[in-house]
Structure 1
Amino acid sequence: MERVLRLKTEAMAHHAPRCSFTALMVLLITCCATAAAAGDDHELTHLHFYFHEVNAGEPNASVVNVASLHKNGSTFGDVNVFDSALREGPSPVSRLIGRAQGIGVHASLDESGGLTATDIVFSDYGEYSGSTLSTTGHFNVSGPSERSIVGGTGKLRFARGYMISELLSSTDTAIVVVFDLYFTLSY
């Protein structure tokens, strides 16, 4: 009888770790699946609007060159400050939705682009009115540019994503750039 009892105890001891291991694996998989599902709650938001800049030297200029080396006709090292209109459409009389305020530095020796740090300030843009998005990154003189969305305020707090911009039109006095922003909000 003692031997039978000992064999049953050994058998139970042998199977107990498997049950604990299996239970642990099920728990781990459940936790991972829950965490992954929670991460999927962050919906991608897309905003589309137009940047309207009036060149320095013009009445109502929205960009000013605040530092310039101008050695050999190069713009390398120039620093510009801007406060340009953001509009719903490409027309300069389309609805004003906010401002793009920031700095641009001509930081490329071959003058192909530079660095911008921009706050997009929404004044009349539905639920985002009063909120901002902060972007930074390289802009290309020709072709589209991609910059990072590194944060925001108000309804756009904790925004993370990217912005694609591309020159739509250019005259001697102004430029229009199309902005497409893609971001998520993580709380």
Structure 2
Amino acid sequence: MEARSMLICIVFACDLIACCHCNYYSKTSPYTPPAQKITHLHFFFHDTISGKSPSAIKVAHPSFPTAFNDTPGPFGSVFVINDPVTVGPEKTSQVIGSAQGVWVSTGQEMLELVVTMDIGFTYGEFNGSSISLMSRNPIALNQRELPIVGGRGKFRMARGFANLTTRFFDHVKGDAMVEYHVTVIHY
């Protein structure tokens, strides 16, 4: 029994010594962030539910009637999106990126979504960069604001806001085109 206790003490001591000599962090040094920049972006977002090549697909829906049951996205529906982002309002306009994420129909009194998406840019000065948005999106209102909660690439540690204006919405099919005016504060 004493040999076993001795072995446990040796293992414990070795673990203690090993932990004292391995750090999961490095020495802290003062951080001086670079100067903040403000970038204004303007683009159009095309959300297409209908047709042979939709950019938004319903992946879950309620199993019983809910609010707005006569719409393509009744309360409780979940959609996954990969929507094109263009320079102009036409679908044929130059594609500069895509918005990928999820939107959930959460409104019971008016059409409302909770949106989580990353708008990644694939063209121009911000190619390879993205901005992330997450918020409630009251789509029944023609104009609304969503917060920028992060980003990557040139928009690393971004924050800001996006002013959205619905330019087209088909109440039967659910297709929409939304104009974005974005103010991004980043380093």
TM-score when scaled to structure 2?
0.72
AA in 2 matched with 1:65: K
Q: How many Å apart are 1:65 and its aligned residue?
A: 0.8
- Kindly report structure 1 stretches of 4+ aligned residues shifted beyond 4 Å: none
Aligned residue for 1:150? 149
The reply to whether residue 52 of structure 1 matches residue 46 of structure 2 is yes
Alignment map for 1:39-118 (pairs within 5 Å): 41-56=35-50, 58-74=51-67, 75-118=74-117
Partner Cα separation in structure 2 for residue 152 and residue 43 of structure 1: 13
Percent identical among aligned pairs is: 29
Partner Cα separation in structure 2 for residue 183 and residue 100 of structure 1: 16
Partner Cα separation in structure 2 for residue 76 and residue 59 of structure 1: 24
Partner Cα separation in structure 2 for residue 111 and residue 91 of structure 1: 28
AA in 2 matched with 1:45: T
Instruction: Note the aligned Cα RMSD (angstroms).
Output: 2.0
Kept in 1, the 8 Å contact 2:66–2:75? The answer is no
- 1:116-151 superposed Cα distances (whole Å, 9 cap, x missing partner): 001001011x22001111111111122222111111
Q: How many Å apart are 1:180 and its aligned residue?
A: 1.1
Unaligned runs of 5+ residues in structure 2 are 1-31, 68-73
AA in 1 matched with 2:47: E
Aligned residue for 1:121? 120
- 1:80-117 superposed Cα distances (whole Å, 9 cap, x missing partner): 11100000000111100000011001112224312000
The reply to whether residue 136 of structure 1 matches residue 146 of structure 2 is no
AA in 2 matched with 1:138: R
SS in 2 for 1:127: helix
Kept in 1, the 8 Å contact 2:111–2:140? The answer is yes
AA in 2 matched with 1:176: M
Q: How many Å apart are 1:72 and its aligned residue?
A: 2.3
Partner Cα separation in structure 1 for residue 107 and residue 66 of structure 2: 14
Partner Cα separation in structure 1 for residue 139 and residue 63 of structure 2: 18
Greater RCO (Cα-Cα under 8 Å, separation 6 or more): 2
Larger Rg: 1 or 2? 1
TM-score when scaled to structure 1?
0.72
- 1:44-64 superposed Cα distances (whole Å, 9 cap, x missing partner): 2110000012214x1110011
